[in-house]
Amino acid sequence: MRIIPAIDIIDGKCVRLEKGDYTTKKIYNENPLEVAKAFEANGIKYLHLVDLDGAKSKHIVNHKILESIASKTGLSIDFGGGLKTEEDLRIAFESGASQITGGSIAVKDERLFTEWISIYGAEKIILGADAIDEKVAVSGWQEESKEALVPFIKKYLERGVKYVVCTDISKDGMLQGPSFDLYHRIIKGTKALKTKVAHSGLTEDMTSSLHLIASGGIATFEDLPRLAEIGCEGAIIGKAIYENKISLKQLQHFIQEHESEA
């Protein structure tokens, strides 16, 4: 399972929120690059970078920070927040994003998001499936849509998505543990999903192509092996690192252990 620390950006600073509420903002570092370099120095290879200003403004805002981290570290960065247009994607990829995450756009403009999967490929486009009471949330988690979570994920698996980041918003930033049951239901709920392979009569098991990334609520190091056991391909960790509930040395050891097993 991949370890993916998170850096959330407001006004160029590294912050954390509780349940996506901007009024709960807490600044942890005024230099996101410094934080990213500390992650890399401890063997971490991946970064989840969220442009919270962009999510609120509905267009990319903090691409200069993305560019700085991408050019000055070797981290593989998935970038999200406010990506609504082809121009937003162009800026994100040109600024150094390895992948982008689309959440609201996947709800509000299915045609465009599906087009992005076709143009850029399933390795580049992550589906952001963040939910309140298993209904997909949009607009920086400020609105709840009518989309039920598991059918929403299934729909996009059938359209070629491989990577899905799922956050139970009620858990995010609360340090109360992730939604183990939710991730188990997602994996179980997509198990029988099959789709026709293009230009053949064969079927392909879509479960094998689902890379489910857990996000929100991770509170202790012990949460990580449980997520791995459920079948999560990655785990995004934010506040637990910043509040010293999980140390970078623990994460480094986890990564080394899993690499040696592989």
Among residues 53, 130, 168, 223, which one is catalytic?
130
Angle in degrees, 0-180, between the axes of helices 86-94 and 63-72, rounded to the nearest 10 = 30
78 classed as catalytic: no
Residues 6+ apart with CB under 8 A from 2: 45, 46, 213, 233, 234, 235
Residue 181: name the closest of 214, 207, 210, 147 by CA: 214
C-alpha 90: how far from its chain's center? 19
Among residues 8, 53, 78, 223, which one is catalytic?
8
3-state secondary structure (DSSP) of residue 223: helix
Q: How far is CA 99 from CA 94, 109, 154, in A?
A: 11, 19, 20
**How are beta strands 234-237 and 211-215 bridged, if at all?**
parallel
Q: How many residues does the chain have?
A: 262
| Cβ pair 139, 106 in contact under 8 A | no
8 classed as catalytic: yes
| Cβ pair 251, 258 in contact under 8 A | no
CA angle 38, 178, 239 (to 5 degrees): 30
* β-bridge mates for residue 167, sequence order: 215
- Residues involved in catalysis: 8, 130
